[in-house]
Amino acid sequence: MRRSTLIRTGLSTLLLAGTWAAAGAVPAAQAAPAPAAGAKATAKAPASAGLISAMQKDLGLTKSQATARLAADKKATAVQSKARGAAGTSYAGAWIAKPGGTLTVAITSEKKAAAVRATGASVKLVQHTARQLDAVKDRIDKLSAPAGVSSWRVDPATNRVVVDVVASQKNDNDVQSFVSRALKTGPVTVENVAARPATKAAGTVGGDPWYTGNVRCSIGFSVNGGFVSAGHCGQPGASVSGWDGSYIGNIQGSTFPGNDYSWVNVGSGWWTVPVVLGWGTVSDQLVRGSAAAPVGAAICRSGSTSHWHCGNVQATNVTVNYAQGAVYSMTQTSVCVEAGDSGGSYISGDQAQGVTSGGSGDCTSGGESFFQPINPILSHYGLTLQTSA
């Protein structure tokens, strides 16, 4: 299904499809917003001018600060895997302590410090390894969590597992019982949050981009033969239609809760491209890989309701306690989300990060959000991310 749009020179071979498979499509009965002029991402530039402008707006940065931040985050991402290898079994997590700073790697053995520093990372000595903290979190995952418990995650900076409790329900008997059991599993800290996260699907409200039944969600990333999105948007076998109501394909796989991801095959005149829609706020972003950004890195999101927003990676390996059940191994960010953004794209520079699951708050008052990392989705379904050379 071809649709009418204005396409910037240089992306024309990539942006011809009705399926904007790495992000939400433009609203039905509305042409795509023209990409920002002169905003082509190149090998020399860390990102398009539009993306840098969005980071300036959402993160309160100057242009030079945004450019430096992207370069520093890219370097930290490259250092992360080398440092983990150098740390070996002593590895206890990694994060960017200061925006635009170097990667900090926690280790339990001082003997590994020199090797880790040689990769370009700084070192922090801690008591518990990442494997030990993950085991604590796994034990909490086996507990039945009440509605007043928001989420729990491994926090490498404090070398503990953090349990988030809704402040207004912290004195609830069930919440206190859960916290008591969680504290017995190992090094655990309890923190208060304002609200419990919710998934961000929505009924059809005259927007876009993909629909199944009366649910609207957002496309995540193109894969060979289709796209990936959120699992809570629909069940396997369900028919999927695009921004203009025409048939795209069917949900080939879907899981929620436990995980929150799905994939949809694409056919019937639709095809896929390695692009995240910028919604006129930034130029449409090419996807060139899926290297996972570390905690502290800048990250941006595209969704069919609230469009384009940026923030920071706050935590990885987070368990989110939705009303429908817990979802594991999520990444937490400071990026806002709204209903209908579910399934949409998280991208750091030109690297795909994951698909929107849910969050709390909105893009007026602010909030936090959670995404399902892209690489486990690809591995689970045996899919290949579509990328631009």
Catalytic residues: 232, 260, 342
Tokens (6 digits) for 318: 């987070």
Residue of 265, 290, 259, 294 lying closest to 354 (CA atoms): 290
DSSP-assigned letters across all residues of 9-56: TTSTTTS--S--TTSPPPPTTSPBPPPPTT----SSSSS-HHHHHHHH
Please name the residues in contact with 351: beta carbons below 8 A apart, sequence gap of 6 or more. 77, 287, 288, 289, 290, 291, 292, 293
Tokens (6 digits) for 334: 């400071």
> What's the angle, vertex CA 104, arms to CA 102 and CA 106, rounded to 5?
170
What's the rounded Cα separation, in Å, for the pair 331 and 353? 9
Q: What's the Cα-to-Cα distance from 126 to each of 110, 113, 136, 190, rounded to whole Å?
A: 10, 12, 16, 19
The answer to whether 268 touches 1, Cβ cutoff 8 Å, is yes
Q: Count how many Cα atoms sit within 13 Å of the Cα of residue 33 in the half-sphere of its side chain.
A: 17
